[in-house]
Amino acid sequence: MKNLSRRKFVTHVGLGMGAAAILPTFSSFSSFQNKKLNIAICGLGRYGSLLSRSFVDSENCKLTGIITGTPSKAEKWKKEYGIPDKNVYNYQNFDSIVNNKDIDLVYVVLPNSMHKEYTIRAAEAGKHVIVEKPMALNALECKEMIDACKKNQVQLALGYRLHYEPHHQQIMRLGQNKILGQIRLIEVSLGYNIDNISPDDWHLKKSLSGGGPLMNLGVYCVQAGRYTLGEEPISVTAQFGPITKPELYKEVEESITWQMEFASGAVCTSSSSNRSSIDRYYASAEKGFIELSPAVSYGPFVGRTNQGKMNFPVINQQAAQMDGIAKFILQNKPLPDHIAGIEGFKDMKVIDAIYQAATTGKKVSLL
């Protein structure tokens, strides 16, 4: 994937359609050229490795520490990223990070069941936190995480990279401002045909993951429906898909489809699956449509509306996300709700209801 620097990105976007929605996210970066937010990654798995490579394109974030339970990974990362011994932690001595002035923020990239514990421990050590999606196993855990960060006067952010991606910022602008009129129907789905998943993969263990593809992939679809409209759903219905590999899907769903209803009359229908490849977004409005495919994966995204193609550049989504969060923390300003812990809570409240609806076969109210 081709990555553009933040400066080149703004130049390429220019002042065309959607620029007004995009540029504020990246404004004021020039005043932070010499400031860095020092970040420790907690969990050095696949996505942690992807994040580590994104620091190259970050203007305001620096990788200064790691937390891992695997000594061999610690040695590899120390050499590759020049991390000193004093900034390397394991899960037993993690709390001593409170004394480390070289780390401002802990980025939690662990199995879902560990998000609450390490967010709270980081907060109690006086460190800001970014936690990967989904925020926790359920909405109640999210509330505990939010309360802990508030109590310890640190900020809690969610790793929602698409809030910083130009195609999705354009979706927000068009939908929330009703540029194409009221949006009536949204269809957004994400799924992969995962044939080589190991029976020991933590995503298949409900105690670790909280659920299957709804938790791992569907959270993006819940997000897209909500931020397209700028509304919260008032009710949900849902259906589990068939289990085609019972030897793997003993504890979590293999696929799921759900419907979110909104007070404006809009309906968002979504599916997430580990057995079907789909990555698509479509919204029908009174005066037009919005379409993306690929849509909510890592891209590169391809989009159009009834007014023509979306001509936005490919960016490093993780770098843009980290810099967008760092901008507020470096200025000692509160994070806006849409990238703060409350956003993760809202998503998990919907996901809890989706599982309830699929289990009971009944519509679940969110009011």
| Residue 133 annotated to the active site | yes
> DSSP readout, 232-247?
-EEEEEEEEPP-S-TT
The residue from 36, 116, 133, 346 that is catalytic is 133
Dist. CA 31–CA 23, nearest whole Å: 15
Spatial neighbors of 141 by CB under 8 A, at least 6 apart, are 115, 116, 135, 348
Quote the pLDDT of residue 33: 58
Check residues 228 and 4 and name the one with the higher pLDDT: 228
What pTM, to 2 d.p., does this model score?
0.90
Joined together, the tokens standing for residue 314 give 């490919």
Check residues 10 and 287 and name the one with the higher pLDDT: 287
Residues 248-288 have pLDDT tens digits of 999 999 999 999 999 999 999 999 999 999 999 999 999 99
Which strands form 183-193's sheet, in the order they lie side by side? Answer: 308-309, 303-305, 288-292, 275-285, 183-193, 267-273, 255-262, 233-240, 364-365
Domains of the chain by start residue, with CATH: 6-161 (3.40.50.720), 163-313+338-365 (3.30.360.10)
Dist. CA 42–CA 90, nearest whole Å: 9
Q: 354 falls in which pLDDT band (50, 70, 90)?
A: very high
Does residue 34 carry a pLDDT above 80?
no
Q: Which amino acid is at 65?
A: G
C-alpha distances out from residue 321 to 79, 90, 250, 337, 353, Å? 26, 26, 35, 15, 28
| Residue 192 annotated to the active site | no
Dist. CA 300–CA 316, nearest whole Å: 10
Residues 42-86 have pLDDT tens digits of 999 999 999 999 999 999 999 999 999 999 999 999 999 999 999
What value does the mean pLDDT take over residues 344-351?
A: 98
What value does the mean pLDDT take over residues 147-174?
A: 98
Quote the pLDDT of residue 35: 86
Quote the pLDDT of residue 27: 38
Q: Are 296 and 279 a contacting pair, CB within 8 Å?
A: yes
Phi-psi category of residue 233: left, alpha or beta, with phi > 0 → left and psi -120 to 50 → alpha = beta
The residue from 220, 227, 249, 281 that is catalytic is 220
High-pLDDT (> 90) share of the chain, %: 90
As a whole number, the mean pLDDT across the chain is 92
Dist. CA 140–CA 254, nearest whole Å: 25
Dist. CA 42–CA 37, nearest whole Å: 16
Q: 2 falls in which pLDDT band (50, 70, 90)?
A: very low
Quote the pLDDT of residue 5: 40
Does residue 3 carry a pLDDT above 70?
no
